[in-house]
Amino acid sequence: MADNFNFQDIIKKSVLNLEAFRNISYIDVFLGLLSSFIVGMFIYWIYRKAFRGVVYSYNYNVSFVLMTMITALVIMTISTNIVLSLGMVGALSIVRFRTAVKDPLDIVYMFWAISAGIASGAKLYPIALLGSLIIGITILWLSRRKVKEQLFLLIIRHSDQATDEVKLQLSKVKHRLKSKTVRKEFTELTVEVRLVDDNTAFVDRISEISGVQDASLVNYTGDYAQ
């Protein structure tokens, strides 16, 4: 009897869950996925236009579109049943993402895609569309602002006799010592230099100093060297 009762109880719960899913409007599902797709493609376009890193990843950009749509689908699923929503939250809590995010701005795009997916899945289409439009315009405006100072890494290898002259030339530009390696025959300096314009004539003057073996200037963006 106990087994029969448990089996009947499971059948009743399954029927109730099916009845809950029958109340879903397919039009709402279509509109939710369509809204998330439009926003996801907009994020894709903004990321491609505003990208200022070294290596552009097409697959990483496409993941924003899929992330927006999948998030909307999850929100529409858990909104139909509170028991299912708790189970979904528990299942998602054990997921671990190990992809390294090198640019902090990429985290902003990920959070934007998830937020837009939540809004689309919750039928808040104006918030998803209008909010994404404002965010996209803001990112484009910020990405096109002219940077007043450019960062460079200046790597100098020189002998002891050129130390004073190298310091004199470095004092003429805004700089900060990043590392210094002293060996038996030479000293290697890595200096962060800030330039208002692209005037790099000082590098030639340093290279011409007697005792300087090499002087290299590398464009520096904080996390990457170009």
The pLDDT assigned to 1 comes to: 45
The pLDDT value recorded for residue 85 is 59
pLDDT computed for residue 138 by the predictor: 93
> CA 126, CA 124: separation in Å to the nearest integer?
6
Model pLDDT, residue 90:
59
Pick from 213, 217, 197: nearest CA to 149: 197
At 154, which amino acid appears? L
Write down the pLDDT at residue 26. 80
Looking at residue 226, its pLDDT comes to 37
Give pLDDT, residue 2: 46
**Domains in the chain: ranges and CATH:** 2-143 (no CATH), 150-219 (3.30.70.260)
> pLDDT by residue for the chain (226 residues), tens digit each?
444 445 555 545 554 455 555 566 788 889 999 999 999 999 999 999 888 766 778 888 899 999 999 889 888 877 766 556 556 655 555 556 566 666 778 888 989 999 999 999 888 999 999 999 999 999 988 887 755 667 788 888 888 888 888 888 888 788 788 888 888 778 888 888 877 666 777 788 888 888 888 888 877 655 443 3
| pLDDT for residue 134 | 95
Q: What is the pTM of this model?
A: 0.61
Residues 6+ apart with CB under 8 A from 159: 185, 186, 187, 211, 212, 213
For residue 186, CA distances in Å to 28, 110, 130, 163, 176 come to 71, 47, 60, 10, 20
CA angle, 165 as apex, 164 and 169 as ends, to 5°? 120
